[in-house]
């Protein structure tokens, strides 16, 4: 009987054959933390005063959430992190401006195929795009792993998602994953691993895979993983690394459930307030007036996403009833977009570009909403209060839908603009 990706990778890490449902102790290959490192440092130091990190080489810290600091309190947190990094000899520290952690980690070659990665951020599941067993933990657990180097996992069951076909014009990975989440539900994959299989996987770009894996947590999944293939090899080649550690499920692996999607049947969708699984087809909501468009985040802030939007906005104007905010996912992506003229197209159209970071996504600073306003965002979460104001509404869509809506000031089917 074949084994799933999760069973194989956890067996390898545990050094024995493991079964679904079993609790295993493993040493993660990489532990990612971000601005919340400041709080983790406090926990670390109160647990083992003067202590050392067990494996400093496995630690990666990225300052991305509230950058540049929005207040002296945030600045003090950042300062504490910089000091700690020096004291502990942590070399993988990436200061403000490098980008959103989930973009920076792969860019820097810190998440390798077949590795186990934990992060003090729920969207750590993004690295599943790179064949990692990657999942979110809380600050306390991060402090614990800094100290002990290890943690536990319950070996998850797996949902298999089989993909066939190819996207049609104006439709992309975001529409697919929102459709899946709408079907599975916000808790439908709770505690489970999700694998993406099928002939269409080979045609999905790395950026598409990241968009999809990123949102695994929005259906409750522990991990959301893709096999390594030629595109993955190319990505790591460019970094001077390889994919030798890659692992994948057997052809006869046993899944709790298999779902099938034909990409050619996917249509533009929008997740409505205040839950990500509240997904409707665009025609059900088209025409709704929007106050702000936000293009960016670890879900859709890559150059591919910015290009999809720029292709729609080039030579046109953002409607005067709406404001458009863009935050590239990282410095690298920002630079690529600059060189390709994408930033110029977006700024000329009237967009406001923020530094590469999380920006308005978590409501801590930048691009806050007023009570009663509506924002169409390419982020991954539309919870009440997420963007800092609980009387505001957040709608989630693809970059194409966001750009098309920027043109009209209303939720707009991108296929009509692209005709």
Does position 48 interact with other proteins (CB under 8 A)? The reply is yes
Does position 48 interact with ligand SF4 (CB under 6 A)? The reply is no
Specify the 3-state DSSP secondary structure of 408: helix
* Measured distance CA(49)–CA(60) in Å, rounded: 21
Q: Scanning residues 262 to 291, which ones bind other proteins (CB under 8 A)?
A: 275, 277
* Measured distance CA(32)–CA(136) in Å, rounded: 9
User: Least distance to other proteins from the beta carbon of 354, Å?
Assistant: 17
* Measured distance CA(305)–CA(175) in Å, rounded: 13
* Measured distance CA(134)–CA(12) in Å, rounded: 15
Of 12, 27, 68, 141, the one binding other proteins (CB under 8 A) is: 141
- Quick one: which segment of 90-98, 217-225, 304-312, 407-415 binds other proteins (CB under 8 A)? 217-225
Q: Which of 307, 327, 293 has its CA nearest to residue 100?
A: 327
Of 53, 223, 263, 298, the one binding ligand SF4 (CB under 6 A) is: 298
User: Least distance to other proteins from the beta carbon of 112, Å?
Assistant: 22
Q: Which is nearer to other proteins, 263 or 392 (CB)?
A: 392
Of 3, 20, 92, 121, the one binding ligand SF4 (CB under 6 A) is: 121
- Quick one: which segment of 45-53, 89-97, 255-263, 285-293 binds other proteins (CB under 8 A)? 45-53
User: Least distance to other proteins from the beta carbon of 376, Å?
Assistant: 18
Choose the one of other proteins, ligand SF4, none that binds residue 379, judging by a C-beta under 5 to 8 angstroms depending on kind.
ligand SF4
User: Least distance to ligand SF4 from the beta carbon of 345, Å?
Assistant: 23
- Quick one: which segment of 193-201, 229-237, 267-275, 356-364 binds ligand SF4 (CB under 6 A)? 356-364
Cβ atoms of 178 and 279 closer than 8 Å:
yes
Q: Is the peptide bond before 274 cis (omega within 30 degrees of 0)?
A: yes
* Measured distance CA(417)–CA(294) in Å, rounded: 19
Q: Which of 242, 239, 269 has its CA nearest to residue 397?
A: 269
- What lies within 8 Å, CB to CB, of 336 at 6+ separation is 303
* Measured distance CA(230)–CA(243) in Å, rounded: 10
Q: Which is nearer to other proteins, 143 or 212 (CB)?
A: 143
Q: Scanning residues 51 to 80, which ones bind ligand SF4 (CB under 6 A)?
A: 65
* Measured distance CA(249)–CA(6) in Å, rounded: 8
* Measured distance CA(360)–CA(351) in Å, rounded: 14
Strands 352-353 and 323-327: parallel
Q: Scanning residues 1 to 30, which ones bind other proteins (CB under 8 A)?
A: 23
Of 160, 197, 232, 297, the one binding ligand SF4 (CB under 6 A) is: 297
Cβ atoms of 353 and 343 closer than 8 Å:
yes
Does position 335 interact with ligand SF4 (CB under 6 A)? The reply is no
Sign of the torsion formed by the C-alpha atoms of 337, 340, 342 and 347: positive
Of 69, 231, 254, 362, the one binding ligand SF4 (CB under 6 A) is: 362
Cβ atoms of 193 and 220 closer than 8 Å:
no
- Quick one: which segment of 36-44, 53-61, 357-365, 386-394 binds ligand SF4 (CB under 6 A)? 357-365
Per DSSP (E only), the strands in 110-238 are: 116-119, 133-136, 151-154, 158-164, 193-197, 223-225
Contact set with ligand SF4 (CB under 6 A): 65, 100-102, 121, 123, 297-298, 358, 361-362, 379-380
Contact set with other proteins (CB under 8 A): 23, 35-36, 38-39, 42-43, 46-48, 65-66, 71, 73-74, 77, 119-122, 124, 136-141, 143-144, 147-148, 152, 186-187, 190-191, 217, 220, 222, 275, 277, 362-364, 381, 383-386, 388, 390
């Amino acid at each position: 009987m074949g084994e799933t990706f999760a069973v194989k990778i956890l067996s390898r890490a545990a050094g024995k054959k493991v079964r679904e449902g079993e609790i295993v102790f493993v040493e993660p290959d990489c532990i990612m933390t971000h601005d919340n490192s400041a709080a983790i440092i406090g926990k670390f130091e109160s647990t083992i005063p003067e202590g050392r990190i067990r494996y400093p080489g496995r630690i990666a810290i990225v300052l991305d959430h509230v950058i540049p600091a929005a207040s002296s309190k945030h600045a003090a947190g950042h300062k504490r992190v910089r000091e700690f990094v020096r004291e502990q000899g942590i070399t993988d520290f990436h200061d403000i401006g490098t980008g959103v952690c989930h973009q920076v980690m792969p860019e820097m070659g810190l998440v390798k195929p077949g590795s186990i990665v934990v992060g003090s951020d729920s969207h750590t599941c993004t690295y599943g795009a790179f064949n990692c067993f990657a999942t979110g933990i809380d600050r306390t657990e991060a402090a614990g792993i800094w100290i002990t180097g290890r943690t536990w996992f319950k070996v998850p069951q797996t949902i298999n998602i089989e993909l066939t076909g190819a996207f049609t014009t104006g439709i992309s990975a975001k529409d697919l994953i929102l459709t899946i989440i709408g079907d599975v539900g916000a808790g439908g994959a709770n505690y489970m691993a999700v694998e993406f299989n099928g002939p269409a996987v080979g045609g999905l770009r790395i950026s598409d895979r990241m968009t999809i894996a990123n949102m695994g947590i929005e259906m409750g999944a522990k991990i959301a993983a893709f096999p390594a293939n030629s595109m993955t090899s190319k990505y790591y080649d460019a970094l001077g690394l390889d994919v030798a550690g890659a692992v994948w499920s057997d052809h006869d692996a046993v899944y709790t459930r298999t779902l099938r999607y034909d990409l050619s049947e996917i249509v533009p969708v929008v997740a409505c307030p205040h839950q990500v699984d509240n997904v409707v087809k665009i025609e059900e909501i088209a025409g709704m007036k929007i106050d702000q468009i936000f293009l960016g985040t670890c879900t859709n802030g890559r150059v591919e996403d910015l290009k999809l939007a720029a292709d729609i906005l080039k030579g046109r104007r953002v409607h005067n009833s709406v404001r458009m905010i863009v935050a590239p996912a990282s410095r690298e992506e920002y630079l690529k977009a600059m060189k390709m003229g994408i930033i110029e197209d977006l700024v000329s159209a009237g967009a406001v570009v923020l530094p590469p970071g999380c920006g308005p996504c978590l409501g801590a600073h930048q691009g806050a909403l007023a009570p009663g306003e509506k924002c169409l965002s390419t982020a991954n979460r539309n919870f009440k209060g997420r963007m800092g104001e609980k009387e505001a509404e957040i709608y989630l869509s693809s970059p194409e839908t966001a750009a098309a809506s920027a043109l009209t000031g209303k939720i707009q089917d991108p296929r009509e603009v692209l005709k």
